Structure 1
Amino acid sequence: MTRTLERHLAVPDLLPAEARVADPERYRQNIVHVEPDGSFSIVALVWLPGQQTPVHDHISWCVVGVYEGEEAEIRYRVEDAAGDEVHLADGQMPDPEDGLRLVRIAEVTNPNGSADGFAPPGDLHRVWNAGEGTAISIHVYGADIRELGSSIRRTYDLPER
């Protein structure tokens, strides 16, 4: 599916004007399409320079492609005090009092025209626009984002080890 999305990232007028609208306060999610049965959604995320997500994981699989600009990303895993990897159960929230820490496992730059995919678990990351202009990424989620409001399952306010 990443190759399918990549083929569309070079189409100049792929996104309507309303999907390209930014918010000066934070990155903005603009819903482009939700399949009638709710099986998937297409969302454009619009980022002004320096805007970023918190460290977070997701409610479903996702294929994401950078349509304009570039995005920086740090990927993480969660470890306990003994250094063992931890996967949180549904409904469980990350708690620093439990000795949990974030560990960086990769730092990448996703350039214009690139696409990638992920699925829970193992989808823990922070993303931001590190460029000087607007960045836009197209996300295809395996969920009804209009119904859910966001693709974020939970955020992680944990110290880094």
Structure 2
Amino acid sequence: MNSTTYPTQPARVGLPELLDGIREQTSRGLDPRPTALAVADVLREQTPGVDLLTAEERLGDPHELVSNVLHTESAFSVKAVVWQPGQLTAIHDHLAWCAFVVLQGVEYETLYRDHGDHLTEIGRAANGPGEASGFAPPGDIHRVHNTGDVTAISLHVYGADLGADGASVRREYDLPVR
């Protein structure tokens, strides 16, 4: 379970410039996967600091990961996710392409392949500050886990208007992993 907030927007250090870079890539008319990779490059090159979030937003919640939607428009949305130690997502995939960069802590990602009646693990990555990645459906089934002992913060960009669509997750998987 997680919660999403749409707060009154404070001034966000570095966000306007980051949005310009993302818009430049999303306006190129590329297919979803190349768009996700290009946006990941922007995130890597222009990684904002944790001061993008207010001190209160950086606290998170001990009971669930917290998503703070920072920007929405028709081509993409940006949200920051705050993960307390031990918090993890369900195994899931997305409605649209996604790119992310870690701002603080380490996020451990496990990738899966769907075989209909079960999943298989196909990869693992430990992503630290400044590390970015991009992916697009199909083939974007994963779980993310804060395995560290400090709060992790990451910035996610989705190729969808979360203000209109509400969520980025297409499906959660409750299948055995073999």
Q: Same fold (TM over 0.5)?
A: yes
Q: Percent identity?
A: 49
What SS does structure 2 have at the residue aligned with 1:13? Answer: helix
- Aligned-pair CA distance for 1:67: 0.7
Q: Over residues 37-84 of structure 1, what are the superposed CA-to-partner deviations in whole Å (9 max), with x where a residue is unaligned?
A: x2110000110000000000001001100011110011000114xxxx
Whether 2:134 is the aligned partner of 1:117: answer: yes
1:10 Cα deviation (Å)?
5.0
1-side partners of 2:99 and 2:169: how far apart? Answer: 14
Tell me the amino acid that sits aligned with residue 138 of structure 2: P
Q: Distance in 2 between matches of 1:17 and 1:148?
A: 28
Q: Is the 2:77–2:157 contact (alpha carbons within 8 Å) kept by the matching residues of 1?
A: yes
Q: Quick check: which one's helix share is greater?
A: 2
Cα distance in structure 2, aligned partners of 1:123 and 1:5: 19
TM-score (norm 2): 0.74
> How does the TM-score come out when normalised to structure 1?
0.81
4+ residue runs over 6 A deviation: none
Larger RCO (CA under 8 A, 6+ residues apart): 1
Question: Are 2:92 and 1:56 aligned?
Answer: yes
Aligned CA RMSD, in angstroms, stands at 1.5
For the 8 Å contact 2:70–2:79, the answer to whether it is kept is yes
1:30 aligns with 2:68: yes
**Aligned match of 2:110:** 74
Confirm or deny: 8 A CA contact 2:50 2:103 kept in the other structure: no
Query: 2:80 aligns to what?
Result: 44
CA displacement at 1:108 relative to structure 2: 1.1
Q: Is the 8 A contact 2:50 2:104 kept in 1?
A: no
* Structure 1 spans left out of the alignment, 5+ residues: 81-99
Work out the CA distance in 1 between the residues paired with 2:78 and 2:56: 14
Q: Judge conservation of contact 1:19–1:44 (CA < 8 Å) in 2.
A: no
Could you tell me which runs of 5 or more consecutive residues in structure 2 were left unpaired when the two chains were aligned. 1-38
